[in-house]
């Protein structure tokens, strides 16, 4: 059973309101499902919209932030636990260590990089965590098309499609987490090198 999930998401406060509404809905649903979150520790953007609702609905929020961002005074004082890391790489490692699953909400280059690393970690068998892409308003449609291009041109095995789940709504994401059964989807040597 999944008790906590890592949230990767934008830290921007200037997005279309529907993105914040979906993030808030996700936070409320997670808390009501007794799923706590690990997130970037910020008081900004979609990550905070989600985290605030988890907190307001009785869940726990754990923040993980690199020192450089902490020095910019963008952290949240409402975290139940808060970890400072020396850099972004160590931040990701800590978030991975503390969480059982992950959801990528719409975000920028940081979210994309975090999501990509976790897909690769699962692909190579370092974990069997649930990976959810929350495709609010079709935000990730073009990225998902690119994932298909990678697979179709054989830069990745067809098994890669089993590494992540695309949720169109927050409820889809939470339902997937509640019913998730780990499978060994790791790529084997023959999957890469066999013709």
State residue 192's pLDDT score: 66
For 2-39, what is the HEC assignment? CCEEEEECCCCCCCCHHHHHHHHHHHHHHHHCCCEEEE
Q: pLDDT tens digit string along 2-17? A: 999 999 999 999 999 9
3-state SS class at 183: coil
Domain count, the chain: 1
CATH number at residue 117: 3.40.50.450
Token couple for 183: 């499978």
Q: pLDDT tens digit string along 19-35? A: 999 999 999 999 999 99
Instruction: Identify the domain containing residue 137 by its residue range.
Output: 4-193
Q: How confident is the model at residue 195 (pLDDT cuts 50, 70, 90)?
A: very low
Q: Which residues of 70-90 are buried (b: 16+ CB within 10 A; e: fewer)?
A: beeebbbeebeebbbbeebee
pLDDT surpasses 90 at 194: no
What is the phi/psi pair of residue 103, to 5°? Answer: -125, 125
């Amino acid at each position: 059973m999944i008790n906590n999930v890592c949230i990767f998401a934008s830290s921007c406060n200037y997005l279309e309101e529907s993105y914040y509404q979906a993030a808030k809905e996700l936070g409320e649903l997670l808390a009501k499902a007794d799923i706590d979150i690990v997130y970037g520790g910020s008081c900004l953007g979609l990550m905070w919209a989600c985290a605030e609702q988890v907190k307001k609905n009785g869940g726990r929020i754990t923040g993980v932030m690199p020192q450089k961002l902490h020095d910019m005074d963008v952290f949240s004082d409402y975290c139940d636990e808060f970890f400072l890391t020396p850099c972004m790489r160590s931040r990701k490692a800590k978030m991975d260590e503390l969480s059982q699953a992950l959801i990528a909400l719409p975000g920028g280059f940081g979210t994309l990089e975090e999501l990509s690393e976790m897909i690769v970690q699962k692909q190579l068998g370092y974990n069997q965590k649930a990976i959810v892409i929350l495709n609010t308003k079709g935000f990730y449609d073009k990225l998902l098309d690119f994932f298909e291009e990678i697979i179709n041109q054989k830069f990745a095995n067809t098994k890669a499609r089993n590494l992540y789940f695309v949720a169109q709504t927050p409820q889809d994401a939470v339902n997937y987490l509640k019913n998730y059964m780990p499978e060994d989807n790791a790529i084997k040597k023959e999957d890469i090198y066999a013709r």
